[in-house]
Amino acid sequence: MLNSIFRKWLFASVCISLVMVLVMSLSISWVVQRNYYRQGIDRLNGQTGAVEEAFQQRLSDEMTAADFRKRLKRIEQENKINISLVGKKVKFLKQDLYEVGVRPDIKGWIDTVSSGNHISRISKFSKQDNETMLVVGFPLMKKGQVAAAAFIYSKAADARALASPIRKMIWPIALVCAGPLVALLWLATRRFVRPILQLNHAAGAIAGGDFSSRVAVEGGDELAKLGGAFNTMAGRMERVEEQRRRLMMEIAHELRTPLTSIRGTLQALKDGILTDKEQGEFVELSFGEAGRLGRLIDSIHELSAFEEHQIRFEWEEVDLTELVQQTLQQLRAKAASTGMHLHGETEAGITLRGDPARLRQVLLNVIGNALEHNPAGTEVFVSLMRSGVNVFIAVRDKGLGIAEEHVPHVFERLYKAESSRSARGSGLGLTIARYIVQAHGGTMTVVSELGKGTEFKVELPLLRSTVTNF
């Protein structure tokens, strides 16, 4: 991996460096040319004053026509420039101006300057072997009117030749810098790839079943964030794997008891060692265990459907007050049969949008859990009240309570405290109840203290704009 990434980085860096050197070379060449040509234009503009002064002297008769021409010739020779004047009454080397360029271009220049404007041009003239010519044009005025269009122009040296030494220096410098660049890339690549190699090793360990593998996280860059996300993912996978193992053990434990009872009954019937009365008792016991086994399988199937989001809810307006009262009435007989006392206090007129059958299932699970895991004489209190935009259902008992170490796990699949191993139930009711509450947009919490009792609290929103099927 190191070599592969290094080659890719090196190739990309070399390409970027070449492009940068090329762009730099072209940019320097362009800047040198523009500056050189601009200086040439400025030099030509510096001679316009001398031409205008000579023209004004000619107009005031301080200078004869012959002297005027001599003066212009001298300016040309001293500054190595060309001067052309084009006007109705003033002409000086007009034909020379036409010799340097294309006639339509020259005519446009003359018209522009004759209108009182100044021009500056950098052009290649076809009649001068495509040499670059610098041209400035300006009007010569007489009594506020344009008397002639004056042009000062000269050949410009090939500015590319001026930039050529600079361009030639760039490439050797780039080659000299290539060695340190490769070394820096190699060092940077090693530092960059090291955490990737650690991630690769840890991912391979997890793929091999070692979910305890983690990577070191240093700094706060993207790789550090990736390492943190990987560790979080590995931690969750480790917990999921632990839950899966525990689930298999719990299922095996839950299945073993009824199957052992049923097998013992069948073996006794096969051996013929039971009296008629004992046969009836054992068959009745086995029938009950078979029912328990069936309910366990149904609960596991239902829980799986919740976890796969395959449960569909029948949403409608639910009178929650009436639903709680009906459930309390349904369970009072069960409470009385176990010597327990079930009390209820409900606020009238509480309605919400939900699935009445599923909400009843939550109540039966939570209240039934209190009735099944407490001794005779325990009092169970159920309350329903509104608070703002939420409604609270609390199921509180003064029974055995739950040890502190077991409280965080009461909603996990098949989890039962060691003290309640022999209690009835599959250990899935509270897990399913929590899924139902979450599907209604609510939360379910538990507070318990060993020897003082337990309180389950369900919080549901009274108003829901949307609902989701599980």
Q: Based on the domain organization, do 334 and 244 belong to the same domain? A: no
20 occurs within a structural domain: no
Residue 273, burial from CB neighbour count under 10 angstroms (0-12, 13-18, 19+): exposed
Residue 388 has which token pair? 């703002």
Provide the 8-state DSSP code for 419: G
Number of compact structural domains in the chain: 3
Q: Based on the domain organization, do 320 and 453 belong to the same domain? A: yes
Residue 6 has which token pair? 């290094």
User: Position of tokens 């939420």?
Assistant: 390
Average pLDDT over residues 302-327: 82
CB 363 within 8 Å of CB 323: yes
Q: Give the Cβ contact number of residue 376 at 10 Å.
A: 9
Instruction: Supply the CATH number for residue 377's domain.
Output: 3.30.565.10
The residues, any chain, with a CB within 8 Å of residue 347's CB and separated by 6 or more, are 321, 384, 385, 386
Give residue 418's pLDDT: 44
Q: Based on the domain organization, do 326 and 431 belong to the same domain? A: yes
- Report the DSSP pairing between strands 341-346 and 379-387: parallel
Q: Based on the domain organization, do 127 and 70 belong to the same domain? A: yes
195 occurs within a structural domain: no
Residues 100, 104, 105, 106, CA torsion sign: positive
Q: What is the pLDDT of residues 326-385, one digit of tens each?
A: 999 999 988 988 889 899 999 998 999 999 998 998 999 899 888 988 888 899 999 999
Closest CA to 460 of 317, 352, 348: 352
Provide DSSP, 310-338.
------EEEEHHHHHHHHHHHHHHHHHHT
Give residue 178's pLDDT: 67
22 occurs within a structural domain: no
Averaging pLDDT over each range in 277-286, 306-315, 400-409, 450-459, which range is the top one?
450-459
Q: Based on the domain organization, do 373 and 412 belong to the same domain? A: yes
Residues 298, 355, 326, 328, CA torsion sign: positive
What is the C-alpha separation between 243 and 260, in angstroms, rounded? 25
**Nearest 5°: CA angle at 295, between 290 and 297?**
95
Last residue of a domain, one of 157, 184, 199: 157
Q: Based on the domain organization, do 284 and 391 belong to the same domain? A: no
259 occurs within a structural domain: yes
Share of the chain above pLDDT 90, in %: 19
Lowest mean pLDDT among 83-97, 198-212, 240-254, 397-411: 240-254
Instruction: Supply the CATH number for residue 272's domain.
Output: 1.10.287.130
Mean pLDDT of the chain: 80
Last residue of a domain, one of 140, 157, 174: 157
Last residue of a domain, one of 157, 183, 212: 157
Instruction: Supply the CATH number for residue 121's domain.
Output: 3.30.450.20
- Report the DSSP pairing between strands 351-354 and 316-319: antiparallel
Give residue 469's pLDDT: 42
Give residue 452's pLDDT: 87
Average pLDDT over residues 315-332: 92
Q: What is the pLDDT of residues 192-223, one digit of tens each?
A: 777 777 888 888 888 887 877 888 877 777 77
- Amino acid identity of residue 97, one-letter, is L
Greater model confidence, 425 or 179: 179
Q: What range does the domain containing 74 cover? A: 46-157
Greater model confidence, 282 or 147: 147
Q: Based on the domain organization, do 322 and 294 belong to the same domain? A: no
Residue 245 has which token pair? 């193992």
Asked if the model's pLDDT at residue 389 lies above 50, the reply is yes
Q: What is the pLDDT of residues 163-172, one digit of tens each?
A: 566 666 666 7
436 occurs within a structural domain: yes
Provide the 8-state DSSP code for 216: -
Q: How far is CA 25 from CA 161, 169, 171, 279, in A?
A: 13, 10, 9, 103
Q: Based on the domain organization, do 302 and 332 belong to the same domain? A: no
Give residue 170's pLDDT: 66
Q: Based on the domain organization, do 299 and 391 belong to the same domain? A: no
Q: What is the pLDDT of residues 30-72, one digit of tens each?
A: 777 778 788 888 888 999 999 998 888 888 888 888 888 899 8
Q: Based on the domain organization, do 325 and 397 belong to the same domain? A: yes
Give residue 264's pLDDT: 81
Distance of CA 366 to the CA centre of its chain: 41
What is the C-alpha separation between 320 and 461, in angstroms, rounded? 12
CB 460 within 8 Å of CB 442: yes
Average pLDDT over residues 384-409: 89
168 occurs within a structural domain: no
Q: Based on the domain organization, do 414 and 367 belong to the same domain? A: yes
214 occurs within a structural domain: no
Asked if the model's pLDDT at residue 424 lies above 50, the reply is no
Q: Based on the domain organization, do 452 and 365 belong to the same domain? A: yes
35 occurs within a structural domain: no
Residue 69 has which token pair? 């021409």
Give residue 466's pLDDT: 41
